[in-house]
Structure 1
């Protein structure tokens, strides 16, 4: 999952915006409540210049989390059994029950884990490992500022193994093709993808907003950079 972001799209005042790109009112698909509230707090002058973009719904995803998992990535080798056991020992009963539920399905299931600081029963800070099996990766972040790196937990029948999310897997989460060249250094590759924008999102905006505006300006079809 990429970080949740607002993408504000602005156009120069001298550009003619095709009428089919402008909606009469905000669509619930693209305008969360927070944005509507913020818009209502803008000055009347800015609101007069505001455009609610008319944007079609993007295609549904066609990949599951297990589809992007590498078998033997060079950038993130699988943990030893002892390392995986230490990871499981950091989990609460609720999280361990998620693993047991995944095991009971008798098939290959991929989950993701983040280590977080929580208060224990005595009110003291303790590091915990929290897993999710909802077929959505945790928020992809840059490996800086104390943020823990995301861990892959693969349950296949009775076996459980773990490792860091590989650099290629982070790129796949961001919609980059496998022939996209990543830095050889793991942290540099993770920083590149964790600090980027999702490629299919940019393509969708380019096709339905950027390029139609550029085409109208030049009189012929142009591709956005």
Structure 2
């Protein structure tokens, strides 16, 4: 497990992705009515390499917060395009390990299949935990698309060449869309349905919003000496 989370070189990190990629289940279909959904997000200090990883478990029916966990640490890998997940994985796995509530779906602030190496954070976390996982990105890492219609629920394919790697999904009328891709043990139709269920009021899933608030708050409580 350690080597799959904390490689020391670019070559080792790419080898991890190559080894784990065939384990990704892109068919799913995944839970149609999950009872608990975990949102995962990471906040970075303005200076230095400190970060806070947060997991917020929601009741899928009410979107009320059931449990939260935070792990504060340092970026575990240099910034390398296509390998960004390795910066965050140790802290995210630590936060997930603190939970006493087992989430039935992971919603990552990032990407799954819609990744240059077809193995984004949602894929990596899904394979490591065995849980269904999806990625919901604010911006794309790659691909071409046409703008979906302006109404909530409209979507268009996100394509990389001839391959469909995700969907551009409108979660609010007339508001910028999000970029949804499968991570593990989900199909794309279900992934988009879950995202729409998580966005009754805002553009981003409530799972992401709550996790974002939690990790930013954790960083804000650190003494200034810890942020260097």
Give the TM-score range, shorter chain.
under 0.3
